[in-house]
Structure 1
């Protein structure tokens, strides 16, 4: 009798664990426009370090295609103008290009909340 009870309890515990794992979502890092803008401003003003820059451009922005386009442009600017020296991580030309990206970001129409 105890074997049957043990098997039933073990099955129930196993079923709960499997159900829980099936319904868990992987964590997502989602950068919004305001956060991206603040990150750009920090880089432009020399208040960001290399780690902050990596977080800013390191994650695809599938939830916002116009923002993803600007992120990819920032990656190109990094490839061309990145110095990695503090306080300014970019050359003067790179900072100018980042300012242009920031202006285009500010000019984007508001994002619809259809997610």
Structure 2
């Protein structure tokens, strides 16, 4: 009987500890930062981005920054209109000529905005 009570107490302590740990731990959050988008855009312009990497970053809504969400949506629209991941596997550019120009302009706009925000924060 003593062995049964000892096992019961140890199991309750383990389960109670696990429940407390899960209750106290916060929800993991993923925040897309401008540097991540710039890196992804550079890879896309060089046709080095995989479809999985693109979908993981661009397919996830950005709720903490409306400006970045707008950039994400524009990039997603550009890829839908001018890009095909199948083209990159055949050795062709990921985006057509119009898409390359628009995507480069979007990337430059994001880089300029990011630099401006960093300068304002440092002042």
- Rounded to whole Å, the distance in 1 between the matches of 2:20 and 2:100 is 50
Work out the number of aligned pairs and report it: 113
23-32 or 34-43: bigger deviation: 23-32
Q: Secondary structure at the match of 2:117?
A: coil
When residues 52 and 11 of structure 1 are mapped into structure 2, their CA distance, relative to the original with a 3 A threshold, is closer
**Which shifted more, 35-44 or 101-110?**
101-110
Q: How far has the Cα of 1:37 moved from its partner?
A: 0.4
- CA deviation after TM superposition for structure 1 residue 19, in Å: 0.7
Match of 2:21 in 1: 20
Unaligned runs of 5+ in 2: none
TM-score normalised per structure 1: 0.79
Q: What per-residue deviation string (whole Å, max 9, x for no partner) do you get for residues 1-56 of structure 1?
A: 51333332222121101111223344443332112101101111223232332233
- Greater alpha carbon shift after TM alignment, 41-50 vs 21-30: 21-30
Q: TM-score, normalised by structure 2?
A: 0.75
CA RMSD of aligned residues (A): 2.4
Counterpart of 2:49? 48
Q: 1:11–1:52: structure 2 CA closer, same or farther, 3 Å change rule?
A: closer
5+ unaligned residues in a row in structure 1: which ranges?
A: none
Give 1:10-89 correspondences, 5 Å limit.
10-84=11-85, 85-86=87-88, 87-89=92-94
Instruction: Return closer, same or farther for 1:18/1:35 CA change in 2, 3 Å cut-off.
Output: same
